[in-house]
A and B are shown apart, each in its own frame.
Chain A
Amino acid sequence: MLLNVQDLASYFFLDEGELKAVDGVSFHVDVKETVALVGESGCGKTIVALSLINLIPPPGRVVRGRILFDGRDLLRMESDELRQVRGGGIGMIFQEPGAALNPIYTIGDQITGVLRLHRSLGKHQAQKAAIELLGETGIPEPEKRMNAYPFELSGGMQQRVLIAIAISGRPKLLIADEPTTALDVTVQADILDLLAYLQEQYGMAILLISHDIGVVADVAERIMVMYPGKIVEIADTEDLFRDPRHPYTKALLSSVPRLGVGHNEPLKGIPGAVPDFLDLPSGCTFHPRCTIGDSSCTSEFPPLVDIGYRRKCACYKAETG
């Protein structure tokens, strides 16, 4: 087990009240495994990722839990130690590649900076390593691109640069937060291919965060489904698509338009909307939108329990086996 997260909770302390963006989340990621965390916007996926590397912006913070990375608890580390983990152990890429790069430094400066800091390379070595990394991530003419500024690159190329930066410390875990959401579908497919290639090459584990269950279907070995602040289902990708157990997972899958199934069939959406964090329904927060829930669902949030081989679900009504 490379990453083991236990009962993680991260709250934001707002004037309006306590916003429990992540509220008791437990999961693990194995060495070299690709795990996806999916859920709709505003369900807390990104806050899980930011919690892992302790980058939650105030007024938010991690309030409880354990994050064991390679056996060491990230939440109980000194900031120096943690910085080393961020540089070498865990890499991260974000949704908006344009916003994650510094507009006033060249691509080369930004990569060599990281290399010199985390791999203690000299100027020339860093230069060489940076060119190699850019080539590795599929950037054509990497020597030339070293002198380019971010605005001179397309979104797909910017994301490749960020991936190069994220893997420059040879991380064991790459957290990819909506890495393709801002990109076109053909570019998205290229970036997903690249991630799969790099994983193979470097033996990294990937935690892939996405609102798009279609994107993760091709690349993830396991999928975790999140609904405001909680993980409601975890299963191997195939099992999840073939036999979803949580009513939210089922509804989510049936509302995805599928290509090639013919047109003009009404889609099944989910009635209502994802609830507001400051005004969550009691008990299971999905119960107002759920078709199989009853009065027993309104008092307490169901625990995430084993319901079969390698799968967990948080629903009182879910079938087991």
Chain B
Amino acid sequence: MSGTVADSANALLTVSGLETYFPFGNRWFGKREWVRAVDGVDLTVRRGEVLGLVGESGCGKTTLGRSVLRLVEPTRGAVDFDGVDLLSLKGRGLRAMRRRMQIIFQDPYKSLSPRMQIGQIIAEPLRLHRIVPEHEIEMRVQGLLTKVGLEPYFMSRYPHEMSGGQRQRIAIARTLALEPEFIVADEPVSALDVSVQAGILNILLELQRGEGLAMLFISHDLAVVEHIADRVAVMYRGKIVELAETDRVIGSPLHPYTQALLSAVPSIDPATKRKRIRLPGEPPSPIGAVVGCPFAPRCPEAQGVCRESAPALEPKAAGHFAACHFR
């Protein structure tokens, strides 16, 4: 097998060697430590593709999503968006690129200003980026509301008058206002009830297909990711440990962590009961450097080599990458 995660035809976003560290602890006394939220990530998102990013809380998936948009500044590495080196951009150049890449946040109760009417919320990006002349804004906003399945009369409403599902639709409409090519959707349905969640997922899928959007879909919920993603990346303590087509990751996972994660998902079909793989120990702390494989302390198959050298994310089958010495 040859090739790396980064060389992919048709890549829209290419992330290589990305590290995002946060300082931790006292600067003057004791040892200065770093929270290694993103600790060496290689990734591509292809044009028109939904890449699912899964992992448990604290594994760095949100920081990775924000780093590729430069909503937090990466420490090292490179992010290439459609041939442009994002990390070297400043000011106006960065703002122009941001038009093409947008984000949907997890909590629609926090991401919408309570003091603005829905119409203003959706129009704001249109005005800031001067997308359309003032007299066309209202029509554009109405069109966006229709796209996300809301009636135009919502324009004069305030967020507190709306349910969680409706708010998330507003957040999506605001994201779409700039007609981006790439969206980071950070747990967009986690705060919603399951009956409402389905509606939002369907809208995202429809829009993604209709407009050929590329999406980095971040979620802790494997069933949701399976539903929406073309490929899935599994993250553990700041690193991608497995990356492949969705059916392969769900159906024939290679990495021991992916296998354990999948086995823990509760099933509502008594017929498809999975055998639980129990992981000893606790989810890892992201503080400080790791020697060897980050999963080794909990891995049921770990050997000496796993504690000494970190496995690289390598192709194990066509398009199926895993970071494990024994796969």
- Choose the segment among A93-101, A114-122, A212-220, A293-301 that binds chain B (4+ C-beta atoms closer than 8 Å): A212-220
Residue of B nearest to A248 (CB): B195
Give residues of chain B (216-261) contacting chain A, Cβ–Cβ below 8 Å.
220-224, 226-230, 246-247, 250-251, 260-261
Residues on B with C-beta less than 8 A from A268 are 198
Q: Is the CB of B222 within 8 A of A259?
A: yes
- B199-215 CB contact bits vs A (8 Å, 1 = yes)? 10110010000000000
Quick check: is A291 within 8 A (CB to CB) of the other chain? no
Task: Tell which of B57, B194, B199, B201 has the most Cβ of chain A within 10 Å.
Answer: B194
Instruction: Let me know if B268 and A217 touch, CB within 8 A.
Output: yes
Does A184 reach chain B (CB closer than 8 Å)? yes
**When the two chains form their complex, are residues A241 and B198 in contact, meaning their CB atoms are under 8 A apart?**
no
State the CA gap A222–B156 with chains docked (Å). Answer: 46
A186 located at the interface, meaning its Cβ lies under 8 Å from any Cβ of chain B in the complex: yes
Q: Judging by beta carbons under 8 Å apart, are B264 and A188 in contact?
A: yes
- The verdict on B136 contacting chain A, using a C-beta distance below 8 Å, is no
B262 vs chain A, min Cβ distance (A): 7
A213 to B194, CA, bound (A): 9
Instruction: Spot the interface stretch: B20-28, B170-178, B269-277, B316-324.
Output: B269-277
Choose from A215, A238, A253, A261 the contact partner of B266 (Cβ within 8 Å): A215
A271 to B199, CA, bound (A): 8
Q: B213 to chain A: closest CB distance in Å?
A: 15
State whether A218 touches B266 (Cβ < 8 A): yes
- Asked if B75 lies at the interface with its beta carbon under 8 angstroms from chain A, I say no
- Closest Cβ of chain A to B197, distance in Å, is 7
**In the assembled complex, which residues on chain B have CB atoms less than 8 Å from the CB atom of A264?**
205, 227-228
A271 to B195, CA, bound (A): 8
- Out of B197, B228, B282, name the residue touching A269 (CB < 8 Å): B197
Question: Is B289 part of the binding interface, using a Cβ–Cβ cutoff of 8 Å?
Answer: no
Answer whether residue B16 sits at the interface, using C-beta atoms and an 8 A cutoff.
no
Closest Cβ of chain A to B44, distance in Å, is: 19
Interface of B is mostly: helix
Give the B interface residue count (CB, 8 A): 48
List CB contacts (< 8 Å) of A252-301 with chain B: 252-253, 255-271, 273-274
B283 interface residue per 8 A CB criterion: yes
Q: Across the two chains, which residue of chain B brings its CB closest to A257?
A: B223
A residues near B270, Cβ cutoff 8 Å: 217, 238, 241
Which of chain A's residues 26-74 have a Cβ closer than 8 Å to chain B? 40-41
A185 CB within 8 Å of chain B: yes
Does any Cβ of B come within 8 Å of A25's Cβ?
no
Which of B195, B227, B230, B273 makes the CB contact (< 8 A) with A251? B195
Which residue of the partner chain B has the closest CB to A276?
A: B163
Task: Verify if A190 is at the interface (C-beta below 8 Å from B).
Answer: yes
Q: Which residue of A lies closest to B206 (CB)?
A: A266
How distant is the Cα of A260 from the Cα of B270 in the complex, in angstroms? 13
- Whether, in the assembled complex, B80 has its beta carbon less than 8 Å from a beta carbon of chain A, the answer is no
Q: At the interface, yes or no: B166 with Cβ under 8 Å from chain A? A: yes
Known A184-B283, A217-B268, A253-B268; contact A259-B195, beta-carbon cutoff 8 A = no
Kindly provide the distance from the CB of B223 to the nearest chain A CB, expressed in whole angstroms. 4
> A189 is contacted by which of B196, B202, B264 (Cβ under 8 Å)?
B264
A252 touches B195 (CB 8 A): yes
Decide yes or no whether B165 CB sits under 8 A from chain A: yes
Complex-state Cα separation, A192 to B194, whole angstroms: 21
With a cutoff of 8 Å between Cβ atoms, the chain B residues found around residue A217 in the complex are 266-268, 270
Interface residue B150 (Cβ < 8 Å from any Cβ of A): no
Within 8 A of B (CB), among A177-224: 184-190, 192-193, 211-215, 217-218
- Residues of chain A within 8 A of B221, CB atoms compared: 185, 257
A241 and B278 contact, Cβ closer than 8 Å, known pairs A185-B56, A186-B264, A265-B227: no
A39 (CB) vs chain B CBs: closest residue:
B193
Min CB–CB distance A278 → chain B (angstroms): 13
Select from chain B the residue with minimum beta-carbon distance to A183: B57
Contact, CB under 8 Å: A184 / B195: no
Interface flag for B291 (CB, 8 Å) = no
Would you call A108 an interface residue if the criterion is a C-beta within 8 Å of the partner chain's C-beta atoms?
no
Residue B312 at the A interface, CB < 8 A?
no
Give chain A interface residues in 217-256, CB to chain B under 8 Å: 217-218, 238, 241, 251-253, 255-256
Q: Which one of A184, A255, A258 contacts B197 once the chains associate, using CB atoms below 8 Å?
A: A255
Q: State the Cβ distance, A59 to closest chain B Cβ, in Å.
A: 21
Which of A40, A261, A265, A271 lies in contact with B194, CB distance below 8 A?
Answer: A40
Pick the residue among A154, A185, A255, A274 that contacts B265 (CB under 8 A): A185
List residues of chain A with CB within 8 A of the CB of B287.
none
Q: Which residue of the partner chain, among A214, A258, A269, contacts B195 with CB atoms under 8 Å? A: A269
Q: How far is the CB of B225 from chain A (nearest CB, A)?
A: 8
Chain B min CB distance to A247 (Å): 12
A212 to B267, CA, bound (A): 11
Nearest chain B residue, comparing its CB with the CB of A155: B57
Assess A263 versus B247: contact at CB under 8 Å? Given A186-B279, A269-B196, A270-B195.
Answer: yes
CB proximity of B150 to chain A, nearest CB, Å: 12
A269 touches B202 (CB 8 A): yes
Residues from chain B with a CB closer than 8 A to the CB of A266 are 202, 205
Are A259 and B202 in contact (CB-based, < 8 A)?
A: no
A156 at the interface (CB under 8 A from B): yes
Distance between A159 CB and nearest chain B CB, rounded to angstroms: 13
Decide if A313 is an interface residue (CB 8 Å cutoff): no
Task: Determine whether the beta carbon of A256 is less than 8 Å from that of B268.
Answer: yes
Interface: A3 (CB within 8 A): no
9 A-B pairs with least C-beta separation: A269-B198, A267-B198, A270-B195, A269-B199, A184-B56, A257-B223, A189-B264, A40-B193, A214-B266
Chain B residues engaging chain A, CB cutoff 8 angstroms: 56-57, 163-166, 193-199, 201-202, 205, 220-224, 226-230, 246-247, 250-251, 260-270, 272-273, 276, 278-279, 282-283
